[in-house]
Amino acid sequence: MTTDAERAEGGLDADFGWALGTLFRVYVKAADTVIDALPGGPRGFQVLASAVQETPANQGALARQLGIDKTVMTYLVDDLVALDLVERQPDPADRRNRRIVATARGREIWEQAQQGLRHVERHLLGVLGEEDAARLRDLLGRVAAVYGEGEHFEETCQAVETLRLRL
């Protein structure tokens, strides 16, 4: 186990990339067992979750928010429609657009998956205690909201370009 002094000196567990990558890999492996039956796995779950929560307004906006290529999104939604988890409905504000809306079966499957994912999350974050786990979720959600649609990604990459190691 790493001590606080070692962590302060820059041990591996003080490295943001290592910590984030490790947690991500463990989470994905555990979450995959919960949502592996959905088309597209995690992406399919995210589309279903967005449909249940009725955000964003149309398929194109959803593809941008989730970082999924529009062509891939079309096939993914087709697969979810075929399983009666979502349906495309005309957008009342602009009938040229299609909204992705969860079906009753889709809501049921989403709820089952949510229960499983909450269990995974509780297990992974259990080492923090409830208050710290809630704070971590909040902080990660706030940061992800800024970068979620990719608007700030390019400017962040440009901002750190001058810091690139030159070997």
pLDDT at 145: 82
Residues 6+ apart with CB under 8 A from 93: 57
Average pLDDT over residues 19-39: 91
- Residue 69, CB half-sphere, CA atoms under 13 Å: how many? 4
pLDDT at 165 over 80: no
Nearest CA-CA partner of 144 in 39, 61, 66: 66
Average pLDDT over residues 37-52: 91
Number of H helices, E strands in the chain: 8, 2
99-118 exposure pattern, b = at least 16 Cβ within 10 A, e = fewer: bbebbeebeebbeebeeebe
Mind listing the pLDDT tens digit for each residue in 130-156? Answer: 999 999 999 998 888 887 665 555 565
Structural contact between residues 100 and 85, judged by C-beta atoms closer than 8 angstroms: no
Confidence class for position 8, pLDDT limits 50, 70, 90: low
pLDDT at 47 over 90: yes
pTM above 0.85, yes or no: no
Residues 6+ apart with CB under 8 A from 114: 49
Name all domains of the chain by residue range, CATH numbers in brackets: 4-127 (1.10.10.10), 129-167 (no CATH)
Confidence class for position 106, pLDDT limits 50, 70, 90: very high
pLDDT at 65: 83
Report residue 144 as tokens: 């992800």
pLDDT at 51: 92
